[in-house]
Amino acid sequence: MPRDHERPEHAARLARDVTDPLRAALAETLDRVGAIEQACDVGDPGTGDWGDHLEHTGTHELPDVASTLASELWQQVGNLAFAARSELRRAERRLVAPGDDHDARVTACESARRKLRRAVHALLGAIGAALGRDFALGGLDVEVETAVSVRRLFAKFRRSLPPCDPAEPAQVRRALRFAAVSLAVMVGDPDFSELRAPDRQLLLQLQARILGWARAGASDAEGLRLYQDLQTAADLLRAINQRQELVAHDRGVLARVARELAAPAPARDRLAAALPLLRGLAGRDDELDRLVQAAAAADAPAAVLDQLRAQLEATGLVPATTVAA
């Protein structure tokens, strides 16, 4: 079920526990990012308040980097700081946009939190590269793992929706009953709380509409509209593949898979090495998932390898030459 601050009747809790702390964090981060940008433009990046901040992250004495101010790495830090400041200011303005309804405010808070984490992660990573240091930043790893789990959840929901003939009311009613069960299972899943606010809101609204439809007598016309909206929603949830953390994750996985498939080894050994990696892409592509499931018991591994190569090329994330035989 939704967390308490997501309920419209708990708007004050949202402001107190989420919006106000986020605004304070954004204001402080904007000040520090501005100092970073200014230092990269006019002074020694090793000085200033943000330098003290780096000390608190586990670094110690910063080296003399004044002579490297013009280096490409520090230019990248300055450019990144400028971009981060612009993005964070937009997030800050969105938090106080007048006229928003409660769902929009929840969405704005989640968006601001993601942008804040990404900006800090990217800046500290760039500064670490410029200083020749590793700040051991792993903050986005959890975000990737969460996105992978949510994608699996979306795929499970999408595949649970039974096909039906829209011209047959009995089939539509049956499909909606199955959908109601699938939505209940999804809402009860521990990963449901990790969905982004607009996705949670969409699915909860669909669940409420199905329950309302059933209580109101299950009209055929409304049932057909509901079924079509469910299909549309399930398809729209595929957009999770476009999230930057999943695009980067998938490219890395697919590159490793391609190397295993192209290795100088028997087809069965290459397939055995690739399959565990491919399971990390579960939910991305229905046909790829089908092939991975079938490959585990394949009697003709060479034929399965050819099918996997073709499907990997179809993803658009791995060049055809990378998975050539």
User: Look-up: residue for tokens 């939505």?
Assistant: 183
Q: How far apart are CA 201 and CA 116, in angstroms?
A: 23
- Quote the pLDDT of residue 288: 85
**pLDDT, tens digit, 9 for 90 and up, residues 201-211:** 899 999 999 99
Q: Is the CB of residue 2 less than 8 Å from the CB of residue 204?
A: yes
- Quote the pLDDT of residue 44: 46
**pLDDT, tens digit, 9 for 90 and up, residues 80-103:** 888 888 888 888 888 776 566 777
Q: How many CB atoms lie within 10 A of CB 239?
A: 10
- List all residues 6 or more positions away from 147 whose beta carbon is below 8 Å from its beta carbon: 240, 243, 245, 246, 249
Widest Cα–Cα separation across the chain: 76
- Quote the pLDDT of residue 237: 93
- Quote the pLDDT of residue 175: 92
Q: How far apart are CA 29 and CA 37, in angstroms?
A: 12
Across the chain, mean pLDDT equals 79
- List all residues 6 or more positions away from 253 whose beta carbon is below 8 Å from its beta carbon: 277, 278, 280, 281
- List all residues 6 or more positions away from 278 whose beta carbon is below 8 Å from its beta carbon: 253, 257, 288, 292, 308
Q: How far apart are CA 237 and CA 246, in angstroms?
A: 14
Low-confidence residues in the chain, pLDDT < 50: 1-2, 43-51, 53-55, 57-70, 320-325
What amino acid occupies position 59? T
User: Interior CA angle at 201 toward 200 and 205, to 5°?
Assistant: 115
Q: Is the CB of residue 65 less than 8 Å from the CB of residue 47?
A: no
Q: At residue 229, what are phi and psi to the nearest 5 degrees?
A: -65, -35
What amino acid occupies position 263? A
Round the CA-based radius of gyration of the chain to a whole number and report it: 25
- Quote the pLDDT of residue 112: 82
Q: How far apart are CA 35 and CA 83, in angstroms?
A: 14
